[in-house]
Amino acid sequence: MELDESKYLYLLFILPIVVVLYLLNFYWKRKKQREFGDLDLIKKLSPETSVFKPVLKLVVMVLALAGIIFGLVNPKIGTKMETVKREGIDIVFAMDVSKSMLAEDIAPSRLEKSKQLVSQIINQLGNDRIGIVAYAGSAFPVLPITSDYSVAKMFLQSMNTEMVSSQGTSLDEAIQLSATYFDDKSKTSKLLILISDGEDHSEGAKAAAEEANKQGMRIITIGVGTEKGGTIPLKRNGIVESYVRDNSDQVVVTKLNRASLETIAKATKGGYVDGNNTKEVLEYVKNTLNTIQKTEFEATQMADFQSQFQWFLGFAFVLLFLDLFFLERKTSWVKKLNLFNE
């Protein structure tokens, strides 16, 4: 069972409050009756007054309120399974999480800009499957191929420069790990979108791209950063404390290496796009996707959750309707039961 609006469960605290208010009112009435006169005499003067009916009305009111609250919560039950067929391609996003991505030559930073770009690309996808790889001095699998975009965005937002212990930018390992995400036996088109500032501290990125091309992969590279470059701030609680320095104690200035990214893309008949312009990136990726052949995926089992709020609201309204006919005087069948020794 799934609760659509679980925040309304807090309204259940109203129910004990209603019961307490009823009890306080009941004891207040009894106190006033004692002040007025003898209780036995009062009962004789009003023989049709019932003790059971007010309790019954309270129970009905509490159940009706509970029904309305659960109606607002809207419980959902997976009543059936549906077979869904999708047609699209497999896309892997390889994101650079090296320290140089903390540079703020692009606001708010290269890393945050990369996250924004990937998130907006995901927003314009249809039925494609996606996966995520993080890399710095080595590559790290973040999310395997999935069609659940909400989960992908959740993993995307959690990415940071502490994910990969070894620093640097190993583009070849990123390409090699991304290649393992694709099924060699599948005829599904394969696209790798590699986001980086291009500062490659390893060798063999071009060779890895050429091997990926043999496996049927196409690579789009997105350059994030400026050729002028920027320093790498070291922050604590959002406040800059210092900047990354090299072995000579000089402040490191990291620059966009566009050439290395263009070389990788060219090796797979892909393309390079400047990540500084979000609109240009989205249009380029969209146009590229339109040129790639879509393939039908295997049938996927999807749970179809159906809302159940109408049953709770219906139950509540029936009780409220019946409450209109529950008068506070005794009825013949209650007299026969003699509840509460009436």
Give CA–CA dist 170/142, Å, rounded. Answer: 16
The token pair at 213 is 């091309």
Query: Residue 145: which of 158, 121, 128 has the closest Cα?
Result: 128
pTM beyond 0.85: the answer is no
3-state secondary structure of 341: helix
Question: Within a 10 A sphere around the Cβ of 72, how many other Cβ atoms?
Answer: 16
Q: Taking the CA atoms of the chain, what radius of gyration do you get in angstroms?
A: 34
The fold adopted by the segment(s) 86-296 is Rossmann fold (3.40.50)
Q: What is the pLDDT along the chain (342 residues), one digit of tens a residue?
A: 667 777 888 888 989 998 899 888 878 877 776 766 665 655 655 555 566 677 788 888 889 899 898 888 888 776 555 666 777 889 999 999 998 999 999 989 999 999 999 999 999 998 889 999 999 888 899 999 988 888 999 999 999 988 877 777 788 999 999 999 988 777 788 999 999 998 876 678 889 999 999 999 999 999 999 989 998 888 888 787 888 887 888 888 989 999 999 999 999 999 999 999 999 999 999 999 988 888 876 545 555 667 788 888 888 888 888 877 766 655 555 455 554 454
Q: Give the domain ranges of the chain.
A: 2-80+304-341, 86-296
